[in-house]
């Protein structure tokens, strides 16, 4: 099955193992600072992003617009993220869970170039959903540690400045 024929991805994470699946699906996804929304009163953090279609049979050749939402959020902290620059592009490398007082802990989103977002949660409660049709071909991610240049602007998706 090709990425364009695949059903939209919809995943729930209720424990650390589930978060590993979410992490794999979101590896090398890109977002902007302005696409991260924390609703403090509702205890919810939502991030709109463009993810590679890793679930395709072959190497990912397309991206899709998706959203990931974390529930039961107590606190959000960031490190090395330019919060004053809403158009700054972030490339997600991984999501990990560090247990705290059960069933809570800290969900950390690690971004390229050393930035991270730590989400203190009462319990693991996350959902990922594709919200657009795939487009492509996607450029493969470039990591600074590879000595490669970062992704260029993507004219296919005006909602985000990098593929």
What confidence tens digit (pLDDT) does each residue in 114-161 have? 999 999 999 999 999 999 999 986 666 666 555 544 444 443 343 443
| Per-residue DSSP letter, 124 | -
What is d(CA 2, CA 13) in angstroms, rounded to the nearest whole number? Answer: 25
Q: What is the pLDDT of residue 14?
A: 98
What is d(CA 50, CA 130) in angstroms, rounded to the nearest whole number? Answer: 9
What is d(CA 9, CA 18) in angstroms, rounded to the nearest whole number? Answer: 14
Q: What is the pLDDT of residue 143?
A: 60
What are the structure tokens assigned to 106, written together?
């800290």
Q: What is the pLDDT of residue 61?
A: 82
Give kind and range of the element (H or E) at residue 30: strand 30-32
Buried b (16+ CB within 10 A) or exposed e, 31-65: bbbebbebeeeebebbbbbbbbbebbeeebbbbbb
| Cβ atoms of residues 76 and 117 within 8 Å | yes
pTM: 0.82
18 or 148, which is more confident: 18
Q: What is the pLDDT of residue 9?
A: 96
Domain boundaries, the chain: 3-136
- Predicted confidence (pLDDT) per residue in 22-72, tens digit: 999 999 999 999 999 999 999 999 999 999 999 877 667 899 999 999 999
Q: Report how far apart, in Å, the C-alpha atoms of 117 and of each of 6, 32, 110, 135 are.
A: 30, 13, 7, 28
The count of other CB atoms within 10 Å of the CB of residue 8 is 12
């Amino acid at each position: 099955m090709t990425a364009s024929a695949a059903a939209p991805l919809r995943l729930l994470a209720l424990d650390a193992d589930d978060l590993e699946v979410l992490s794999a699906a979101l590896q090398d996804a890109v977002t902007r600072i302005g696409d991260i929304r924390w609703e403090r009163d509702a205890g919810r953090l939502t991030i709109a992003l463009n993810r590679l279609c890793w679930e395709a049979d072959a190497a990912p050749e397309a991206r899709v617009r998706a959203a990931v939402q974390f529930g039961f959020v107590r606190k959000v902290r960031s490190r090395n993220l330019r919060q004053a620059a809403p158009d700054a592009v972030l490339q997600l490398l991984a999501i990990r869970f560090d247990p705290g007082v059960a069933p809570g802990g800290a969900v950390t989103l690690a971004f390229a170039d050393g930035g991270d977002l730590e989400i203190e949660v009462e319990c693991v409660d996350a959902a990922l959903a594709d919200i657009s049709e795939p487009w492509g071909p996607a450029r493969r991610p470039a990591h600074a540690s590879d000595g490669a240049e970062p992704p260029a602007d993507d004219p296919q998706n005006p909602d985000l400045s990098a593929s």
